[in-house]
Amino acid sequence: MFEDNSHMRIVSLRTLTIPLVLLWGTSAQVVNPSQNVTNVAIDLLDASHILHFLDVVDAFGHVSARNPDNTSQFIMTFAIAPALATSQSLVTYEIDNATAIQLTFNTSVTGEAIPSGFLERYIHAEIYKAFPDVTGVVHAHTTNVIPFAAVGIGLKAQMGDAGSLGTHGTPIFDFETLPTKILPQDASHNLLIGNEVLGNALAATFSDDSQVVLMKGHGMAVRGTSVRNVVFRSYYTMENANVQSAATLLGALGIGGRPPQGLSARVATDATTTFESENLLGRAWALWTAQVDKEPLYVNDLRP
Ligand SMILES: *[C@@H]1O[C@H](CO)[C@@H](O)[C@H](O)[C@H]1NC(C)=O
Ligand SMILES: *[C@@H]1O[C@H](CO)[C@@H](O)[C@H](O)[C@H]1NC(C)=O
Ligand SMILES: *[C@@H]1O[C@H](CO)[C@@H](O)[C@H](O)[C@H]1NC(C)=O
Ligand SMILES: *[C@@H]1O[C@H](CO)[C@@H](O)[C@H](O)[C@H]1NC(C)=O
């Protein structure tokens, strides 16, 4: 143990300009990133695992965070299933062009040595570029949500914890109706947001009313004010889709039934403020991290 640690320390001290030595218990470790980046990375790994545990993502889908030390960069894993994310899968990317800079927790790994990223990291880069206040983004293929774009109906907030969906109906991004200047005829029509132009078009679909864009035939994009916040919004978007589906069916069944109206703007706004507060969001986060901690599949090697 002692030999391993001192070896790591020598390697890291040589490769780092400003090494930060943290003492955890009796073992000394050198950690490259700042404490702020480490804190965000801890949440990002938990977020990847929680989104899988809650069935918001499956093998596909991803969550990212703006770099708290540099607002021109974001952090997300290279292309792996979110359930399998560890600190060594985190990559720091340019927001400008979604180019990989380095492994977040091993800055000596740069350029070609970085494993391939998600093709759709442009979703994240372009949302951060368009919205300076956004610090967390999720993209997911949640099946409960997809029917709403399929029939051309946006989600409306049906319950307080999904207030951030807004009251007008979430915007719907339709890949198949993009103009050829955004999606040329000879480009692959595989629904994937694989370049800046497509990412920019998706980001431009957001409305002030809603923190979610539905992607027809594909999934959703969610923006948030922190990693925890965007996970909360993503999960309750899925739950809201379940409620709205059930309410729509029930409304169509009985005499006098009606389509679900959703919350009023006043209630949706006030409920969002309450539910997304540190207190309630924190309560959810405490439960979700406790749940993923019980599952050997998920490894957060940054959390002591
Ligand atoms: C870390 O984050 C805190 C809270 O956002 C901030 O006040 C502080 O300045 C940050 N530290 C550094 C070194 O950026
Ligand atoms: C912040 O990120 C940009 C883009 O990667 C980079 O050019 C710049 O040097 C960084 N700033 C600092 C202070 O590291
Ligand atoms: C990506 O953007 C960064 C920051 O603007 C820039 O330094 C870099 O040269 C760009 N890389 C490519 C491949 O365009
Ligand atoms: C960083 O990556 C290099 C190249 O893969 C590797 O040799 C080194 O052991 C890694 N350092 C740490 C601390 O994991």
pLDDT in tens, 183-237: 999 999 999 999 999 999 999 999 999 999 999 999 999 999 999 999 999 999 9
Predicted pLDDT of residue 29:
36
CA-to-CA separations, 238 to 36, 90, 125, 143, 216, in angstroms, rounded: 30, 26, 23, 9, 15
Among candidate residues 105, 117, 121, the one with its CA nearest the CA of residue 65: 121
Contacts of residue 13, Cβ cutoff 8 Å, sequence gap at least 6? 19, 30
Predicted pLDDT of residue 6:
36
Contacts of residue 227, Cβ cutoff 8 Å, sequence gap at least 6? 40, 43, 44, 47, 63, 65, 135, 136
Other Cβ atoms closer than 10 A to 296? 6
Q: How many CA atoms lie within 13 A of 113 on its CB side?
A: 9
86 ligand 4 Cβ < 6 A = no
**Atom number, ligand 1, closest to the C-alpha of residue 69:** 14
Q: How far is the CA of 67 from the centre of ligand 1 (A)?
A: 11
Q: Which two tokens stand for residue 118?
A: 């998600």
Q: Taking the mean position of all CA atoms in its chain, how far away is CA 32?
A: 24
204 ligand 4 Cβ < 6 A = no
15 ligand 4 Cβ < 6 A = no
Active-site option among 94, 112, 120, 176: 120
Ligand nearest to C-alpha 19: 4
Q: How far apart are CA 91 and CA 81, in angstroms?
A: 14
Q: How far is the CA of 97 from the centre of ligand 3 (A)?
A: 6
Q: How far apart are CA 117 and CA 40, in angstroms?
A: 19
Predicted pLDDT of residue 255:
82
Residue type, 230: V
Phi, psi of 233 (to 5 degrees): -65, -40
Q: How far apart are CA 92 and CA 84, in angstroms?
A: 18
- Asked if 147 contacts 248 with a C-beta cutoff of 8 angstroms, the reply is no
Ligand nearest to C-alpha 68: 1
70 ligand 1 Cβ < 6 A = no
Predicted pLDDT of residue 10:
35
CA-to-CA separations, 237 to 132, 134, 141, 221, 240, in angstroms, rounded: 23, 18, 12, 11, 5
120 is catalytic: yes
Q: Which residues of the chain have pLDDT under 70?
A: 1-31
Q: How far apart are CA 127 and CA 135, in angstroms?
A: 9
Q: How far apart are CA 21 and CA 31, in angstroms?
A: 6
Predicted pLDDT of residue 199:
98
